[in-house]
Chain A
């Protein structure tokens, strides 16, 4: 399709700045994110069905106990597979910097919405970075322990003591991951405009300025540099 057919508006849609809105996530990144999210929800529901008798009823969502047991590890692997490219994309933006530790120390200002008192934030704030590392660690733990307790294919290759502690580790990593994602989801509801960033891809200038000023500065500087200078 040529640019003309798309019209002037669509032609700009992929550029960083468009009608005053800033591109935060490309269509590819959004698709990837929601694949991870769907796999997580299914993995968590099917896992929780076996986690506690009170939740065994969740196995009905997957076609009963045996199907839950069969499907869960594959859904878990799907989440891992979906998360890998996403992690490679956003990983470098999640390195902790000195200003992130300062941000964390001021957690009271964070939870009380006193953002004006906080150090400037890059593309991701310290909380988002910690969520990223928690997911990386938990998924690694879930994979290693999940293989050991996967009775249908792998458990016979592990001694009983490894399978037993593997089950403990798996349940623990699942618990930490689920709590992390609850925090992640709540943060998206709390900070208005975040959900749009991941559904529509764009955020307002005000949003970027308020929540991720260092990133905003970077985007604006780059945009200014690439524009033809009016003399």
Chain B
């Protein structure tokens, strides 16, 4: 079981209820707020994540950008993505986005996972992988609208940002927050973070960023990692941040009502057979069929 202070509200591939009698008075939903307008791309958070979680990725190759390693991996749970975008005035903008798990309120990974308890969601909103229950099928990768989970070549288990659930459980803020030198990363209750973001957005608007806004996409029920963007109308400019992320219709069809329906169809097919036997009975051959067969055989023998 996960830490007692982290009540589980949802569990992958589980149709019965999770334990839920406790009503923590202070246990509101938490959120990490990433203010892209304050980020200087120093990657202190990336390093803090490696340090706290004991992760070391392979030394990669330079891809002609500051982005390093080139992509998220089982050993890189957060990654600074750098975009060079020309704005409408013809000026260059360097947009930097800290990528990683968004901790959706309605997580596609959890919906897709076939292994009971391999993915859980805590009462505080954190979506966490319990690798000891993971079977390595990769369904969660197909389920995620943000392309976040990565399967390890080493142990065929899937890894991603835990929002430092181990630290949060004992009242600490996530390691990345602790390391950020500019205050671009803040952590607290989701309500507080929204309010903090609103103040930031007002400030940005007063300084000419008309389209500044909060990224807390409703298509996945909101997220527990949110962005303040200078251009909230152009999320794709921040290295393909989806404008309206949703769990794919294919995944909803695959994991929705069609599954119990499928089971019912199989059971009904077998039952139909059973009751056909009970009502109509077997189709047998008797002596008269044998006689008729001999009759025909004899005729054929005479006149082949």
Contacts and interface: CB of A to CB of B under 8 A. Distances in A.
Interface of A: 49-56, 59, 64-66, 68-70, 111-113, 115, 149, 151-152, 155, 160-161, 163-165, 167-168, 171, 175, 178-179, 182-183, 185-186, 189-193, 204-211, 213, 216-217, 220-221, 224-225, 227
A197 B248 CA distance: 48
Interface stretch (B38-46, B166-174, B275-283): B275-283
A217 B300 contact: yes
Given A205-B297, A206-B289, A209-B289, A115 B248 contact: no
B138 interface: yes
A151 B282 contact: no
Most buried by B among A152, A168, A192: A168
Contacts, number: 160
B23 to A, nearest CB: 27
23 contacts: A51-B263, A52-B262, A66-B156, A69-B137, A70-B136, A111-B276, A111-B280, A115-B283, A151-B137, A151-B151, A164-B248, A168-B250, A168-B254, A171-B259, A182-B266, A192-B282, A192-B284, A204-B285, A205-B294, A205-B297, A208-B293, A210-B293, A217-B296
B292 interface: yes
Contacts of B301: 220, 224, 227
Contact of A53 (B13, B280, B283, B286): B13
Given A205-B293, A209-B293, A190 B136 contact: no
Contacts of B266: 175, 178-179, 182
Interface string B123-149: 000000000010111110110000100
Contacts of B277: 186, 189-190
If over half of A's interface residues share one DSSP class (helix, strand or loop), that class is named, otherwise mixed; here it is: helix
Given A164-B142, A193-B285, A204 B280 contact: no
A223 B287 CA distance: 22
Given A152-B136, A179-B266, A205-B293, A65 B115 contact: yes
B253 interface: yes
Nearest to A167: B254
Contact of A163 (B142, B285, B292): B142
B116 interface: yes
A152 B273 CA distance: 38
B114 A56 contact: yes
B270 interface: yes
Residue with the greatest number of chain B CB neighbours at <10 A, chosen from A185, A224, A225: A224
Given A51-B262, A54-B263, A179-B269, 17 more contacts: A53-B14, A54-B15, A65-B135, A151-B137, A160-B141, A160-B147, A164-B251, A171-B258, A178-B266, A179-B266, A186-B276, A189-B273, A190-B273, A204-B285, A204-B290, A205-B293, A207-B285
Contacts of B273: 182-183, 185-186, 189-190
A164 B136 contact: no
Interface of B: 13-15, 114-116, 133, 135-139, 141-142, 147, 151, 156, 248, 250-251, 253-254, 258-260, 262-263, 265-266, 269-270, 273, 276-277, 280-287, 289-294, 296-297, 300-301, 304
Contacts of A167: 139, 142, 250-251, 254
Contacts of B263: 51-52, 54-55
A91 B273 CA distance: 26
Given A189-B277, A191-B283, A53 B137 contact: no
B289 A207 contact: yes
A205 B301 CA distance: 14
Nearest to A183: B269
A46 to B, nearest CB: 11
Contacts of A192: 282-285
Contacts of A51: 114, 259, 262-263
Contact of A206 (B251, B265, B286): B286
Given A69-B137, A151-B136, A210 B285 contact: yes
Contacts of A160: 141-142, 147, 248
